[in-house]
Amino acid sequence: MILLTIKDKTNKAEEKKILEQIVTTSEEFLQSIDSEMRFRSVFAAVSNPLFLLDKDTGAILDVNDAACSLYGYTRDEMLKLKNIDMSVEPEKTRKALKTSLTCVPVRYHKKKDGTVFPAEITASLFELNGRKLSTVSIRDITEYKQAEERVRRKSALLSAINQVFREALTCETEETLARKCLAVAEKLTGSKFGFIGEVNEAGLFDTIAISDPGWTNCKMPMKNATKLLKGMKLVSYWGRVIKTGQSQIVNNPDSDPDRIGIPAGHPAIISFLGVPLKQAGRTFGTIALANNKLGYDKSDLECMESLSIIFVESLHRKRIEASLKQSYNRLQKTLDDTMKTLASIVETKDPYTAGHQKRVAKLSVAIGKKLGLDNEKIGGIYTAALIHDIGKIMIPASILSKPSALTSLKTIQTSGRYKADLERLSDTYQQILLCISIR
């Protein structure tokens, strides 16, 4: 309220001047009240949480209802706080106060109940009566960050799956494949170490691959780790994965009812994730991972369950390939032994040319290499050369080793080419032989 006293002795000119000042002051006062009311009306109507801050001190001068609802405070409680009280990154917030930043993509704030959430901050700086103020808009981007994380996870999973498939094409052994898959799984989940293994016919656990979590300090040489970690009983939370056929997340191993001790020198286990390996509905092994420093969550579990399916398929194919390779090698050895036996029979039947087939085979291989033929073709040439005289087996020894010249009939009988030509004329073949013999 403005109180002005006009004394009786004041002249009319002064009175008029004072009245004009009263009117002007009253209008400005009413305008300021109207502006403040409009400001408060707009401030309260904005759906995003809004703060009015003192730029120098960070003191909260005003908030709207949306801000109170988001952070869980009453308006009176918030007006007693500063902006750093809302942040879990106070040093970054203090530095921001000293700058003219108007947009901060991500800051992490905390609610009254301690819940932390990502916030996008937009600020508008201005001065009022020489005082630096800032209007700050807050947007909770939790859902956006969660969606972003899901996309990142899916991309990482697809990359991991592709890597396992590529390794399956190049790895020579299932142990190498398992080690590569384990490395991919550790990277995907942020794990420090782990192992992959399966149950043998005796119902005991054999490791296929194991990572190095510091075996230099452990009583077990790393190079022999997979050999030594065989025939183990299914115990602890990792054994529970196989027994139940269910994935397990254990973020507090010390309180798990199935916990057991760890080898001397082994790093402490602070978190554990295990997924079963299944084929045709039967659980036969597990992929076990440990020590994600933040603990494992549902997304880690889902990623590993997807990756385990790919690993089982790749392992199955690798074992089929190994089995086929063994069968092929056995068949090839049997074929080679058979060819050598046939060559020996021919040499036994015709001692005059003994060793001839081996020399031809050796010469043929040398020619093949000179021509740049591949090993498969050279192998075929060697086999063909080794038995190129196999037709001698069908010729009677009395004819094959006869020291004198052969008759026309004997020539036809011993010549594969003549005989094949005549056999195509099967109706007259015997008549031709008869005519020759009569002559």
pLDDT at 357: 79
Mean pLDDT score, 104-110:
84
Tokens 């040499």 map to which residue?
347
pLDDT at 3: 40
pLDDT surpassing 60 at residue 348: yes
pLDDT at 358: 81
pLDDT surpassing 60 at residue 214: no
pLDDT surpassing 60 at residue 421: no
Q: What would the pLDDT profile of 140-195 be if each residue is shown by its tens digit?
A: 998 988 898 888 888 988 888 888 888 888 888 889 999 999 999 999 999 999 99
pLDDT surpassing 50 at residue 4: no
On average, the pLDDT of the chain sits at 79
Of 276, 336, 341, 340, the closest CA to residue 309 belongs to 276
pLDDT surpassing 70 at residue 127: yes
Mean pLDDT score, 22-30:
52
Mean pLDDT score, 217-233:
62
pLDDT at 379: 84
The Cα–Cα gap between 434 and 436 comes to: 5
pLDDT at 416: 54
What b/e readout covers 348-387, taking b as 16+ CB neighbours within 10 angstroms? ebbeeeeeebbebbeebbeebeeeeeeeeebeebbbebbb
Structural fold of domain 148-312: Beta-Lactamase (3.30.450)
| CATH ID of 46-140, from 3.40.50.2300, 3.40.50.1110, 3.30.450.20, 3.60.15.10 | 3.30.450.20
pLDDT at 405: 62
Number of H helices, E strands in the chain: 15, 10
Mean pLDDT score, 235-264:
90
Domain 46-140 shares a fold with domain 148-312: yes
DSSP 372: T
User: Is the CB of residue 273 less than 8 Å from the CB of residue 249?
Assistant: yes
DSSP 112: T
Q: What would the pLDDT profile of 54-104 be if each residue is shown by its tens digit?
A: 888 889 998 988 999 999 999 999 999 998 898 888 888 777 766 766 777
The Cα–Cα gap between 387 and 415 comes to: 16
Angstrom CA distances, 358 to 116, 350, 364, 372, stand at 83, 14, 10, 21
pLDDT at 168: 83
DSSP states of 5-37? ---TTS-HHHHHHHHHHHHHHHHHHHHHHHHHH
The Cα–Cα gap between 188 and 200 comes to: 28
- What residue segments make up the domains of the chain, in order of their start? 46-140, 148-312, 325-438
The helix (run of H) or strand (run of E) holding residue 309 is helix 298-349
- The mean-pLDDT minimum among 102-116, 189-203, 219-233, 402-416 falls in 402-416
45 φ, ψ (degrees, to nearest 5): -80, -20
**Res. 241 pLDDT band, cuts 50 70 90:** very high
Angstrom CA distances, 150 to 116, 144, 181, stand at 19, 10, 22
